[in-house]
Structure 1
Amino acid sequence: MHASTETASALTPLQTRVAREILALARREDLALGDRLAESLLAEKIGTSRTPVNVALHHLVSLGVVYYDANRGFFMAKPARDVTDIAAQFFNEPDDPLYLRIAEDRLAHRLPDDVTEADLMRQYEVSRSELRRVLSRMQEEGWIERQVGHGWQFMPMIDSVEAYEESYLFRAAIEPTGVMSPTFSVDRVELEELRRRQRFIAEGGYLTMNSVELFEANCEFHETIAKWSGNRFIAQSVRRMDRLRRLVEYRQARARKPRQGQALEHLAILDAIAQHDLLKAAALLRNHIEGARRAKVHAQEVFAPST
């Protein structure tokens, strides 16, 4: 434990986040001993360059999760389902502290809609380069935008029970519509991959996967179906909603049992899609989102102050 913590301290916040996402991806796909981890593919899926991916993979080598062959690249040194302890440590490590402080202050309404870099530098006692690095990440995630000429503006966020409910009502409107779109087209390879991952969760993966991993698997399911709609606006909207939900969901401890039920519902939706019964798939998807809305929104502790 001490050795891995010591190694992690040498990583930048970006490299730490990339290593965390590689671990999550490996466990979500239930990779086996010897499965290859292609740097270019990982960089594409995570949305970064190959440089931080390479550093992160070498970090995972030092933890015994991955091994490196100079001629062939990186491979799993053990099954992904057998690295639960390392994954738990990794996901319990804090994200970028400045990012979390700004996110927490915004969710708690301690920051105004419009801010300047000078004000934020004074408030958080950071350099302009450090602040801009975090603001760029926030801009990429869609919850802050640079204003023309001066300052930054926070975009609408899921920062209250009412906003959380609105987000579910919006998703219940657009996601089933995407399934019924005339341009809906299934990628059979992606369909089988989703089935395999959701089946793994339902059959016991939910017991070893942490809340972040479960949330990311949920996002992958919904974003993939939205992409199949063939409608760029639906696909972009679902991705943006997931990014906004991430800020709330990551702060909360989640019960594991409901995640098994969600995976079973996901499998039923995928089965209907595979059978070309899109009317049934859309109805199941709408019921699935409505069920999640009732369960989560009515449990108003979602927005209780974190401790």
Structure 2
Amino acid sequence: MTMGEATVAEIGPRLRAGGTEKDHDLVGSLVVELQERINAGEITAGTWLRQAHLAEQLGVSRTPVREALRRLEALGAVEVIANRGARVRLPSTRDIIEVYELHGLLQGYAGAATAAFINSEQLERLTKAESLFRQVVEDLRTTTVDTAEVQRRWHEANTRFHMVIIEASGNRHLVEVVEGLHRKVPRNLTWIALGNDVRRLEKDAAEHARILDAIVRGDGAAARELLMSHARHAGELLVRAVDEIGPGRSPHWG
């Protein structure tokens, strides 16, 4: 989705299937759905989230929509501007630096543990995710590929790869912590720094390949260092991209 009104027509049927507007879980379900779409880039940074528009498409009143937006604001995913409404936050430079510092530490910790504890099924999934990066680069080099489709596939590969590492680390609480960071700086935003630049995508794919190799070899120290470096590099690219957008300007991503 590009800038403009948020289109969430698919949410309504799923919410209504789980109960009526009076159900306790309605607002929570709406929060989760919107957060997932923000993370995936279907609702981009800067998009205005109009209560009336959302309520109409979801088939609910404005009350649960208003409460969901308040919760998203508390989570740092949305900003509410007086007399204007709510919109998806564009993270600040400080947000990005701090979040990616934590990402590096957490991913590094997870990578070191994963190198020691990953099982064969998890390793197979990690290997498949890594191959998706290389396939996207190859497709970009040899064919004309739809930008939205490339972004979707890269996002899918990135999500799978890093979530397998977190899962394989054996720390059950790590997923929750990492998801909290994604609410501050949605994972899809790295795409604005990579875009369709084959050289950048190729370098990113190579970083994932080295991380996989360290895990396969059981080298926890190397996996930790590579993942910390990977997070640092991603944060630096994103800071430059956001700085180029500049204050008061709207991003046009995806």
Q: Give the TM bin, normalised by the shorter chain.
A: 0.5 to 0.7
State whether structure 2 residue 62 is matched by structure 1 residue 104.
no
SS in 1 for 2:185: helix
Deviation at 1:189, TM superposition (A): 2.0
Q: Cα gap change, 1:162/1:16 in structure 2, threshold over 3 Å: closer, same or farther?
A: farther
Provide the C-alpha distance between the structure 2 equivalents of 1:248 and 1:16, rounded to a whole number of angstroms. 26
Aligned to 1:269: 211
Deviation at 1:187, TM superposition (A): 2.8
Aligned to 1:88: none
Deviation at 1:227, TM superposition (A): 1.3
Deviation at 1:280, TM superposition (A): 0.8
Provide the C-alpha distance between the structure 1 equivalents of 2:168 and 2:188, rounded to a whole number of angstroms. 27
Question: Which structure 1 segments of 5+ residues have no match?
Answer: 1-10, 18-47, 49-93, 107-119, 146-151
Paired amino acid for 1:164: I
Aligned to 2:250: 305
Paired amino acid for 2:196: A
- Give the 5 Å matches for 1:13-162: 13-14=10-11, 95=42, 100=43, 104-105=47-48, 121=51, 126-127=55-56, 129=60, 131=62, 145=71, 153-157=73-77, 159-162=91-94
Aligned counterpart in structure 2 of residue 293 of structure 1, from 223, 235, 238:
235
Runs of 4+ aligned structure 1 residues displaced above 6 Å come to none
Aligned to 1:63: none
State whether structure 2 residue 195 is matched by structure 1 residue 254.
yes
Deviation at 1:264, TM superposition (A): 1.5
> Which whole-Å deviations, capped at 9, do the CAs of 1:185-235 have from their partners, x for residues lacking one?
213223223223322422535624522321232122112101111112222
Structure number with higher relative contact order (C-alpha < 8 Å, ≥ 6 residues apart): 2
SS in 1 for 2:117: coil
Provide the C-alpha distance between the structure 1 equivalents of 2:206 and 2:115, rounded to a whole number of angstroms. 26
Question: Which structure 2 segments of 5+ residues have no match?
Answer: 1-7, 15-28, 30-40, 78-89
Paired amino acid for 2:122: E
Q: Cα gap change, 1:105/1:301 in structure 2, threshold over 3 Å: closer, same or farther?
A: farther
Task: Determine which structure has more spread, i.e. the larger CA radius of gyration.
Answer: 1
Q: Do the aligned residues in 1 keep the contact of 2:46 with 2:250 (CA within 8 Å)?
A: no
Provide the C-alpha distance between the structure 2 equivalents of 1:281 and 1:218, rounded to a whole number of angstroms. 16
Q: TM-score, normalised by structure 2?
A: 0.59
> Which whole-Å deviations, capped at 9, do the CAs of 1:261-307 have from their partners, x for residues lacking one?
21221111111111111111111111111111122212323664135
Q: Cα gap change, 1:201/1:292 in structure 2, threshold over 3 Å: closer, same or farther?
A: same
Aligned to 1:186: 118
Q: Do the aligned residues in 1 keep the contact of 2:75 with 2:183 (CA within 8 Å)?
A: no
Q: Cα gap change, 1:259/1:221 in structure 2, threshold over 3 Å: closer, same or farther?
A: same
Provide the C-alpha distance between the structure 2 equivalents of 1:164 and 1:305, rounded to a whole number of angstroms. 18
Deviation at 1:15, TM superposition (A): 9.1
* % identical equivalent positions: 20
* Count of aligned positions: 193
